[in-house]
Each structure stands twice: as C-alpha cells, then as structure tokens.
Amino acid sequence: MRIIQISDTHLSPGKAHFTDNWAPLADWIAQQRPDLVIHTGDVTVDGADVEEDLRYTAELLRGLGARFRAVPGNHDVGDAGHVSQPVSEERLERWRVHFGLDRWVEDVEDWRLIGFDAMLLGSGGHEETLQTRWLEAVMHDAGGRRIAWFLHRPLFLGRPDESDTGYWSVKPQPRSLLFQLLRRHAVALVASGHLHKAHDFVRDGTRYIWAPSSAFLVGPAMKAPPMPGENRLGAVVYEFGGRTIEARIVAVPGLSRHWIDDVAQEVYPRRPDK
Ligand SMILES: [Fe+2]
Ligand SMILES: [Fe+2]
C-alpha cells in the first residue's frame, strides 16, 4: 500500500506565485501510482478568506487521478486565537464543502491512519470538543491496529515539553492532552507539514515526519525560531505493509525553489501569525 504525503502547496488562481510547482508534482505523483495521497494542509494561499482558492485547489487535487484525503492548514481555515483569521464554523463549513470533513480515518493493512484538524487545537469551541471526543473514540476503536496521525502543525519543534513556540507548533496545553493520548495508544507515526522543512526522527518510540512543502522555502525574513530540519522541497513516500512502514522524504523533479521571503509582501501582506 503506497501512500504519498504532500504538504503546503499554497495554491490560488489569484496569487499564482507557486502554481508552476503543481504540474511537476502532479506528474511525479502519477508516476508513483499511489493508493492514496494525503495533503497535510496549507493547500491554498488563502482559503480562509477566499473561497475560490478552495474550489480551484480541490479541483486540482481531484485531477490527480488518485484518491486523496486532506487536513486543513492555517491558511485554509484560519487558526485558533488568530486576530484576523480565527478558525470559525463558517470557515470550516467552506472547507468541508470542497474537501470533505477535516477529520477522517483510513484503515490500511494493519494500520489506522487518523487525520485531524490542528487548527482547532486550543480554539476552545464546540468543534474542538467534538474533535477531541471523536479522536479518543477512533483511537479506542482501533482494534489493535498501529496508529498514525496526520495533521498540519507539528506537535513540537525540539522537545515535547518545550514552551509555547507561537505560530510554529501546537500550544503546550492541547499538546499535553495529545501526548496523553499518544502515549496511551503508542502512536507509531506523527506526520505533519506547516514548517516547510523536511525532518524525520524518532522520539520515545514514535516516528515524526515533517513533510516538506512543494511550493516554497522559508528563509530568515520570516523570523522562525531555531529548529531542526532541512530546507528542501519535496514529498514523502510511505509503503505500508502489515504492521511495518517504510517512509522516505524525497525530492520531486522539476520543483522551483521559491522563497517566501522574496514575495511575502505580495502573497501575505499581513504576517500569517498576526
Ligand atoms: Fe505552509
Ligand atoms: Fe501552515
């Protein structure tokens, strides 16, 4: 069972700065013949405010010729506690119209893959409560399958007990609740996006994979805190067989190495965390 994870495509018909990377990505995916494609968010440049971005990008994904699942990123549905783009029921509804539910389960081989909406974490609303109950239930009902999580934002940058990193990783309070679940059910894999960095490591028996973006790299102008990982574009190829997994972060031929630093004023005139 071959699954391809892509992330942070940041596509839009109105802001086409990264659109040139879609065709090589789509061609490469077709050659890989995956059973499933998982997109870990920031599918769009600004689906949180521009519905056309969601419509256009969902159409592109449907054109891949492979089944796909997606979880939203901050640019798709807004973010918990964001000043100008808070995640809201209206934004979630728009996402769901074009991409389906923002949380899902896929049982493959002896694995249960669980995608969920990192933008709800710490939002404190009804939707977060529903998602928490759902997550506990689908993990409880996994029937002995190994568990893999797919979400946009990584749980942490350096250490699970690190303090608040702001925009970059899950806030400490929802993180600690997730870690209780992760430990109780021995989650084997946590796959995320958001950082536009490639990283693959094991911590306390759980493998963490940061999928690179296929759109752009993040340079010093974005003032990210120090973090591990490589500045490269690409995707992740998973082979699930029985209870085992092989995963490789790979380059995708033909991607242009855009840097957000060069176009941030045009693409995101407001800083994304403000
Ligand atoms: Fe992104
Ligand atoms: Fe993001």
pLDDT tens digits, residue range 116-166? 999 999 999 999 999 999 999 999 999 999 999 999 999 999 999 999 999
Say how far apart CA 192 and CA 90 lie, in whole Å: 24
Query: 144 C-alpha vs ligand 2 centroid, how far in Å?
Result: 32
Span 82-109, mean pLDDT? 97
- Sign (positive/negative) of CA torsion 268, 191, 185, 107? positive
pLDDT band at 272, cuts 50/70/90? low
Could you say which ligand is closest to the alpha carbon of residue 233? 1
Query: 270 C-alpha vs ligand 1 centroid, how far in Å?
Result: 14
Query: 219 C-alpha vs ligand 2 centroid, how far in Å?
Result: 15
Query: 213 C-alpha vs ligand 1 centroid, how far in Å?
Result: 7
Query: 6 C-alpha vs ligand 1 centroid, how far in Å?
Result: 11
pLDDT at 190 over 80: yes
How distant, in Å, are the alpha carbons of 138, 168, 176 from that of 164? 28, 9, 12
Tokens of 255: 């991607």
- The 3 state secondary structure assigned to the chain is CEEEEECCCCECCCCCCCHHHHHHHHHHHHHHCCCEEEECCCCECCCCCCHHHHHHHHHHHHCCCCCEEECCCHHHHCECCCCCCECCHHHHHHHHHHHCCCCEEEEECCEEEEECCHHHCCCCCHHHHHHHHHHHHHHHCCCCCEEEEECCCCCCCCCCCCCCCCCCCCCHHHHHHHHHHHHHCCCCEEEECCCCCEEEEEECCEEEEECCCCCEECCHHHCCCCCCCECCCCEEEEEEECCEEEEEEECCCCCCCEEHHHHHHHHCCCCCCC
Say how far apart CA 101 and CA 95 lie, in whole Å: 8
Using one digit for the tens of pLDDT, what is the confidence trace for 34-80?
999 999 999 999 999 999 999 999 999 999 999 999 999 999 999 99
Query: 213 C-alpha vs ligand 2 centroid, how far in Å?
Result: 10
pLDDT at 171 over 60: yes
What pLDDT, on a 0 to 100 scale, did the predictor assign at position 270?
Answer: 73
What pLDDT, on a 0 to 100 scale, did the predictor assign at position 271?
Answer: 60
User: Could you give the 3-state DSSP secondary structure of residue 124?
Assistant: coil
pLDDT band at 94, cuts 50/70/90? very high
